[in-house]
């Protein structure tokens, strides 16, 4: 298979690339800085700016079996200034529109597009489970997800099988949010964050890659899928499982007001959440390797 991954140099893209080339597939990475892509057999790096369709990558675009769009400015960077919030949204809308234009311009067309999105689509929720048909929220991250998903909607009209990857918190040791959450625990200061009741819809990086590949290869998969383990945890249960896995105490609550003071609006990432269920993946027969957060942590650490 020939797979193009826009924004493929990051956490998910790198793990997906490794899995694909290990199985003998060929990968083209679209990056704004190809020098950071390690040269490797089966991996081709092409420069793009995330905003313009260029001849250099458009030429190979039409030969792809699958296109995966993961590009977007990081959400986990502090502070969420107005300028950075604008970049979080605009970079995703621009990348989506650019990929859509490439589909429009190419003949033949790649038959499949996997489009990244996030569980933040549903907005902050109490304990009710969020399935793929649950309504969107109205906070900043929901607005980002709605516009992000819409940016590639037009390819649905071109006969392309489009899959939306509504991803939860990806658990990996090397990057993402987990190392930051694990830091106070490692320093013997672990405990619930805020009320501890907010949901965390998490997924082990290996299941994330397995789910993406499952959706890539399954012709019945189309539309939005929650990519998160079937057992989302409350923040208190998640942090307590992390402390147990790291053999550290779980005792020191991090008060919401202090986190709000330190992080501003970005504190929503930690203080609110949702309990998302990967209903459509389960319906298609996908089996998770990691169903409990504790098992995921003991595997990772």
Ligand X SMILES: NC(=O)c1ccc[n+]([C@@H]2O[C@H](COP(=O)([O-])OP(=O)(O)OC[C@H]3O[C@@H](n4cnc5c(N)ncnc54)[C@H](OP(=O)(O)O)[C@@H]3O)[C@@H](O)[C@H]2O)c1
Interface contacts to ligand X, rule CB under 6 A: 7, 9-13, 31-33, 50, 70-75, 87, 91, 95, 116, 118, 167, 169-170, 176
Longest alpha-carbon distance in the chain: 59
Nearer to ligand X, 233 or 257 (CB): 233
Shortest Å, Cβ 68 to ligand X? 9
Which residue's C-beta sits nearest to ligand X?
A: 10
What residues contact 5, with CB distance under 8 A and at least 6 apart? 13, 16, 17, 27, 28, 29, 30, 67, 68, 69, 70
In terms of CB distance, is 179 or 249 closer to ligand X? 179
Least separation in angstroms between residue 31's CB and ligand X is 3
- Smallest distance, ligand X to C-beta of residue 298, A: 20
* Owner of token pair 């859509």: 100
- Residue closer to ligand X by CB (options 126, 174) is 174
CB of 174 to ligand X, least distance (A): 10
Q: Which is nearer to ligand X, 118 or 191 (CB)?
A: 118
Residues 277/134, Cβ–Cβ less than 8 Å: no
The encoded tokens of residue 202 equal 């998490």
- For residue 107, the minimal CB distance to ligand X (Å) is 26
Helices (H), the chain: 11-22, 55-61, 82-105, 140-150, 178-186, 205-217, 235-245, 256-263, 268-271, 279-283, 293-300
Minimum distance of ligand X from residue 118's CB (angstroms): 4
Nearer to ligand X, 44 or 252 (CB): 44
* 175 or 189: CB nearest ligand X: 175
Using alpha carbons, list the distances in angstroms from residue 272 to 104, 123, 228, 246: 39, 9, 17, 24
């Amino acid at each position: 298979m020939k797979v193009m991954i826009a924004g493929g140099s990051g956490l998910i893209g790198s793990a997906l690339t490794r899995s694909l080339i290990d199985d003998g597939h060929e990968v083209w990475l679209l990056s704004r800085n190809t020098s950071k892509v390690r040269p490797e057999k089966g991996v081709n790096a092409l420069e793009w700016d995330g905003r313009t369709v260029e001849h250099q990558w458009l030429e190979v675009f039409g030969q792809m079996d699958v296109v995966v769009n993961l590009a977007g400015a990081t959400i986990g960077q502090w502070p969420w200034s107005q300028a950075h919030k604008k970049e979080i949204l605009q970079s995703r809308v621009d990348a989506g529109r650019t990929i859509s234009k490439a589909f429009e311009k190419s003949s033949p067309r790649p038959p499949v597009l996997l489009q990244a999105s996030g569980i933040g689509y549903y907005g902050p929720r109490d304990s009710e489970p969020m399935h793929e048909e649950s309504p969107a929220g109205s906070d900043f991250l929901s607005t980002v997800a709605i516009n992000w998903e819409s940016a590639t909607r037009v390819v649905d009209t071109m006969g392309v099988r489009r899959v939306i990857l509504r991803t939860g918190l990806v658990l990996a040791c090397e990057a993402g949010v987990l190392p930051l959450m694990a830091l106070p625990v490692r320093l013997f200061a672990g405990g619930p964050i805020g009320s501890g009741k907010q949901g965390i819809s998490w997924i082990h990086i290996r299941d994330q890659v397995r789910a993406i590949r499952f959706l890539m290869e399954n012709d019945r998969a189309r539309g939005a899928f929650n990519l998160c383990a079937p057992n989302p945890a409350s923040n208190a249960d998640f942090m307590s499982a992390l402390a147990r896995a790291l053999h550290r105490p779980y005792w020191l609550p991090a008060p919401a007001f202090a986190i709000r003071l330190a992080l501003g609006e970005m504190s929503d990432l930690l203080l609110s959440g949702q309990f998302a269920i990967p209903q459509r993946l389960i319906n298609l027969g996908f089996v998770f390797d990691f169903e409990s957060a504790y098992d995921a942590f003991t595997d990772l650490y």
